[in-house]
Structure 1
């Protein structure tokens, strides 16, 4: 049997700091002399969530196992083991509403700490759902003999840890212990809603991920509506099929008000707070012939628990409007693989061997500063029942002179996120002092001057948000903004296929469009919903331009669309992107041959629902930008000259 360090095998703990009497120097001396010292709380602190993680120091002479006893509680979590490693400790404890007198005990050594738990009054909650199919079977797949399949206990423990993790990592980032609210039963357990599905498991398996997400979103909305809830659902019927080696009923999708996650790994999750340190040190191998091994290659129970619990919190983060992150240890990146590290000191080796690894705190999962700042401004982390204003939300605009981004926030600006490629690349925080009502960001400071790919998110002091792409704001001259829209549109209900169009149909669409006037978009994004307001859902529509070239030449067409896109040049299909997606510039491209003289450029943008439109621009073979004039001539883009006195 492989042995691991005492920090994994032995439960020992973290002591909560208390205020020492006397002078600061005297207090420091007493703290240094105390065999148990808490470093992240002080006596009398008030918190708004029930399970804090206590972090502290313990002298070598305190060799007995460390435990935390909540003398104010009569719950099963009254007495919990802690984790000790090389003079440091971590401990979880569960609080009851009101003052809680905690005793940290290691042999003859004892430390008293009082924490005041005042449950959140925020009416906005994260709700937890456990999904069964129409048969109502709540059992999950497992390889553990005699597994009680206590799904409610596992979800209770997991979401209390998620709440704790959020509060502590925000506090570490200087944002205070803000976290989301959960629904609790009278005895302090997370209220897990068991939703009996409207379909069989086989029917759910037949759905693509996005369709399954939409289906469950609608089922929950109908069954248990709640206007102020973010709903996170775990599926009971996720199953790994050994014959095909495919996992069915599994996804990880979050956004808007709903996150959906497969439950095929929850057999590795802890069932109670006393089980947390054991679960994150459980080196049993995952049997990949019986269950889905989603452990990021580590092949162990602890790795599977870490990745899948972290991923569930990651998807919850998407419901709180967080994008992906470039910080490798952010929970909103693959940092979710390291969720365990926040609660432990040593990581066991993966299944294929190696030695236990002492964890560098800088390599533990966290909400990185940009996401901590964004969350702190979010209404779901308000803690109290605050009467938010819904008026005068923030506005984002393009400034031409000087060029840059201008944000107007009558309620005061708290957060500006700058994203690229779906990830947060930069941010600005406004928590020190008064929140500005106006803010200007020069174009040169946006992604190092590469502003054309930037997406912006802002949140004000009232939790109101706004978002925009640079390309949708700026009248970039290289984008084709003037189009002739065909009066011909087609119904597009089957989003898994394009509509069939033959050469005669394409010619008729082009002829009809050519007779229409040019419509020019102010911004780079051409909004089809504005151009064709009479019909904006389940429709395919067409825009047309004549492109005149002084010679035969190769050019590159770059385009992006919301939703699906086809582009024809002189009747030949050159771009074909069947997708349900938001639009970004340059999602698709094609190198094409222009004939000397007139060329016919036709685009089709097929729309399911929501946003609808197009980005399109043209470059020469060497990547130099070309402008399409209203007369159809394609010319090199002339650089603008700066105004007098500019440097």
Structure 2
């Protein structure tokens, strides 16, 4: 009698709860060396409620690494309970594994918004691409929307690997999307994969926009979007349709990759390498087609192939979005906030596209620990957990707490629980952003502060409780402190200046040290900066 192969899913347990719809499964197939793929299905996909939220086929095959049986799979979930089935091989010894994942579409008003910028004199609004690639507005909307879903899932997994729970950003919901006023142009909102994409048509011509530098484009697009609805609670990820590589001169026009504040801005020159639908994901991150660098942007970190172009350019979006979420570059080490974004493909693939070459690369798509713990407290990130019962975690209209705030439970982190601790922000996260600014937790006396004391001590005050302190050396994070294990919130911390310098590696005189902190309410203070050797 033949043994039936078995599955192991290493990163998701049956009964897990997530706050985003596209879930990544890391798995391994045991005892089925001949299997080349695993079919992943959402059971009951013929139900009308499920069809209404389906963005892809109910079943999809994902490649398996023949030497290890490892596979990566993605599945779109619907709100509520989802039964996910993994199947490999054929009867009578087919491997079958099922697990339940709950998707809680939690209400949250701090969102990331997708924007596609088109010049006034371009009626088509397409992006530059090889002849065999679709490149009209519809294709751009689908590629951008799916990229944002993939990055939402990627960030959740990177946070999960730190044992912090699957915190990730929220994307704007279709019901929240409102067109931005556009002087001399217009904006329409198109939806793909449940993501509203704001197609913003400028009043400026393509030639005028292509004549601008990257910094000037950032300022021009930022100014155009400054009047967008709900501006105080949105971060925009914007791609410019007019990026062009001139094959005759070798010049690149309309391109940048900049992020900070409320805008992350990118050229669209690499978009042709991005997946347009979920079925394309495995192929896009393994496609060894050579990039024609004479005619098209080759932003592949010197690797010169489509898979690398997709990995680097999509990874750069997550990197620049990280800057919008207050993350600096790490002073030492790698990760997404360094050049680790070049390796985004490793999150979604099971094989190295260039065997022997890339296997030597030491970097990985990961978050450095300071970035992860800082995001743990950021107001734009949320997560769902595994307790209490999923049906009661996020009711449609959360009941008022006794103090008049709105309470949404935050269960203990997974996979390595830490001691429970109060988090004031839980009491305010159901309020609209405008109302939240007037909540007691966000009042001026409760904002965090960092001050210099005459006795050579830096005092950090956080009435709402201290979550994270970052020590920045010449703009990059050199060290950090996190406050997870404290039995009670830390409200006041005195740090000798010599200890601050030690944390930063005792830099030479003239080096700039900045201290930044985040409190439990997601409020950030980072105005304190001194040069080493300065006198009080």
- For residues 404 and 293 of structure 1, do their structure 2 counterparts lie closer, same or farther at Cα, with a shift above 3 Å needed? same
Of the two structures, which has the highest relative contact order with CA contacts closer than 8 Å and spacing of 6 or more?
2
Measured on the aligned residues, the alpha-carbon RMSD in Å equals 2.3
Aligned residues: 440
Q: Per-residue displacement from partner, 1:183-207 (whole Å, max 9, x unpaired)?
A: 2448842111100011011111222
Counterpart mapping for 1:40-439 below 5 A = 40-61=11-32, 63-64=34-35, 65-73=37-45, 74=51, 75=54, 76-85=56-65, 86-107=68-89, 108-135=94-121, 136-145=123-132, 147-149=134-136, 150-185=139-174, 188-222=193-227, 224=229, 226-326=231-331, 328-349=333-354, 355=356, 357-358=358-359, 363-383=363-383, 385-387=429-431, 389-391=441-443, 392-401=446-455, 403-433=456-486, 434-439=488-493
Is the contact between residue 127 and residue 135 of structure 2 (CA under 8 Å) also seen in structure 1?
Answer: no
Is the contact between residue 451 and residue 528 of structure 2 (CA under 8 Å) also seen in structure 1?
Answer: no
Measure, in 1, the Cα distance between the counterparts of 2:530 and 2:332.
25
Q: Per-residue displacement from partner, 1:101-132 (whole Å, max 9, x unpaired)?
A: 11001021100111000013111100000110
Counterpart mapping for 1:613-628 below 5 A = none
In the alignment, which of 449, 461, 466 is matched to residue 506 of structure 2? 449
Q: Does the residue aligned with 2:311 lie in a helix, a strand or coil?
A: helix
Shift of 1:257: 0.7
Is the contact between residue 129 and residue 135 of structure 2 (CA under 8 Å) also seen in structure 1?
Answer: no
- For residues 400 and 208 of structure 1, do their structure 2 counterparts lie closer, same or farther at Cα, with a shift above 3 Å needed? same
Measure, in 1, the Cα distance between the counterparts of 2:216 and 2:254.
12
Shift of 1:344: 1.8
Higher-strand-fraction structure: 1
Measure, in 1, the Cα distance between the counterparts of 2:217 and 2:57.
37
Question: Which residue number corresponds to residue 471 of structure 1?
Answer: 530
Shift of 1:210: 1.9
TM-score (norm 2): 0.78
Is the contact between residue 299 and residue 312 of structure 2 (CA under 8 Å) also seen in structure 1?
Answer: yes
TM-score (norm 1): 0.65
Is the contact between residue 210 and residue 242 of structure 2 (CA under 8 Å) also seen in structure 1?
Answer: no
Structure of higher CA gyration radius: 1
Shift of 1:382: 3.2
Q: Does the residue aligned with 1:313 lie in a helix, a strand or coil?
A: helix
In the alignment, which of 37, 55, 63 is matched to residue 8 of structure 2? 37
Unaligned runs of 5+ in 1: 1-32, 478-522, 524-647
Tell me, yes or no, if structure 1 residue 461 matches structure 2 residue 502. no
Shift of 1:248: 0.4
Is the contact between residue 129 and residue 192 of structure 1 (CA under 8 Å) also seen in structure 2?
Answer: yes
Shift of 1:148: 5.0
Is the contact between residue 5 and residue 95 of structure 2 (CA under 8 Å) also seen in structure 1?
Answer: no
- For residues 416 and 409 of structure 1, do their structure 2 counterparts lie closer, same or farther at Cα, with a shift above 3 Å needed? same
Measure, in 2, the Cα distance between the counterparts of 1:409 and 1:146.
52
Unaligned runs of 5+ in 2: 46-50, 176-191, 384-407, 409-428
Shift of 1:223: 5.0
